[in-house]
């Protein structure tokens, strides 16, 4: 464990001790908390741990090595071809859960997650709010494979099945049959401005189309706001994550659109602007 921790620390990967423990727990097939009770490590397990530590030291994401990412109450399958869900997105998902709960309580519960990736937001809402109908939209074929796998796993675990739609959120006809009927629309789009320096884990292992959002980072957000205005029912709730440099730009886009009210921006746990929320105005307002 000391050698693994030192290798990760030297590579600038961290928190090194915790990551080394998580990798060892993965090799031994126990939880990190169960390490203290685990038996001796066999030579084959030591070899496997060394291999994983070396890969992590070369900045392969921890979640790819473990095969899973934690998101709220879920463990999602992730790997090459899909964006690893981030802790900060749990806030948007949590806000979406609250909105979905209120909607179900008042007889609704139709939730759409655009740019769904692994399905993190959609599956969290479906797991935490019984009575919802959740639709997850994703364009990239590799991400769709992970999304379908996670959706099937959660349905097998007893959650209400999430409906997966292969679609492009820039398509004005997307989900046209649901126009004016959606209660809650959530989206974590690609939003990093093109050319921004990102860590090796992101540059080499997250799909570029999941991360970069055009020259100003708003290329996907702009059409998504139009999709939201068309799909949401009057009073329906929108929550959209954005780059921490866009805490003013996204609310301004919402105001300029003219079809949204109660526009607000919300910070993440370290106080950076993280997602915007709004309500669809009543028709005619």
Ligand X SMILES: C[S@@+](CC[C@H](N)C(=O)[O-])C[C@H]1O[C@@H](n2cnc3c(N)ncnc32)[C@H](O)[C@@H]1O
Q: Is 212 a catalytic residue?
A: no
Binding flag, residue 78, ligand X (CB under 6 A):
no
Residue nearest to ligand X (CB): 117
User: Per CB under 6 A, which region of 27-35, 123-131, 187-195, 272-280 contacts ligand X?
Assistant: 187-195
* Sign of the alpha-carbon torsion through 215, 220, 223, 228: negative
**Residue 8 or 186 having the CB closest to ligand X:** 186
C-alpha span between 12 and 157 (Å, rounded):
38
Rounded to the nearest 5 degrees, what angle is found at the Cα of 284, between the Cα atoms of 280 and 285? 60
Residue 111 is inside which H or E element, if any? strand 110-114
C-beta closer to ligand X: residue 207 or 235: 207
Helix axis angle, 2-10 relative to 43-57, nearest 10°? 10
**Dihedral angle, C-alpha 74, 79, 83, 85, nearest 10 °:** 20
Those residues with Cβ within 8 angstroms of residue 204's Cβ, 6 or more apart along the chain or in another chain:
59
Residue from 139, 259, 279, 280 touching ligand X (CB under 6 A): that is 139
Which listed range, 22-30, 43-51, 57-65, 133-141, lies at the site for ligand X (CB under 6 A)? 133-141
Q: Judged by CB under 6 A, how many residues of this single chain contact ligand X?
A: 24
User: What part of residues 214-233 is at the interface with ligand X (CB under 6 A)?
Assistant: 220
Is residue 143 close enough to count as binding ligand X by CB under 6 A?
Answer: yes
**Nearest distance from residue 131's CB to ligand X, in Å?**
22
């Amino acid at each position: 464990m000391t050698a693994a921790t030192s290798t990760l620390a030297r590579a600038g990967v961290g928190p090194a001790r915790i990551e080394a423990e998580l990798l060892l727990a993965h090799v031994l097939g126990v939880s990190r908390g169960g390490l203290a009770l685990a038996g001796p490590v066999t030579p084959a397990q030591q070899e496997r741990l060394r291999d994983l530590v070396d890969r992590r030291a070369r900045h392969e994401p921890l979640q790819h090595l473990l095969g899973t990412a934690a998101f709220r109450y879920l463990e999602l399958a992730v790997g090459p071809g899909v964006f690893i869900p981030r802790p900060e997105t749990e806030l948007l998902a949590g806000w979406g859960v609250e909105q979905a709960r209120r909607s179900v309580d008042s007889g609704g519960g139709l939730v759409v997650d655009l740019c769904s990736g692994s399905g993190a937001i959609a599956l969290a809402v479906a797991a935490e709010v019984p009575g919802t109908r959740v639709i997850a939209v994703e364009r990239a074929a590799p991400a769709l494979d992970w999304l379908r796998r996670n959706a099937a796993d959660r349905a097998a675990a007893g959650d209400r099945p999430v409906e997966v739609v292969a679609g492009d959120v820039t398509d004005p006809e997307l989900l046209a049959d649901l126009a004016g009927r959606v209660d809650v629309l959530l989206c974590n789009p690609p939003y990093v401005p093109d050319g921004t320096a990102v860590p090796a884990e992101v540059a080499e292992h997250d799909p570029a189309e999941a991360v970069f959002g055009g020259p100003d980072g708003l290329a996907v957000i702009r059409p998504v706001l139009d999709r939201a205005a068309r799909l949401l029912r009057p009073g329906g709730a929108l929550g959209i994550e954005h780059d921490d440099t866009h805490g003013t730009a996204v609310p301004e886009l919402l105001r300029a659109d003219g079809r949204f009210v109660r526009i607000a921006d919300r910070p993440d746990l370290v106080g950076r602007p993280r997602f915007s929320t709004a309500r669809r105005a009543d028709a005619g307002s």
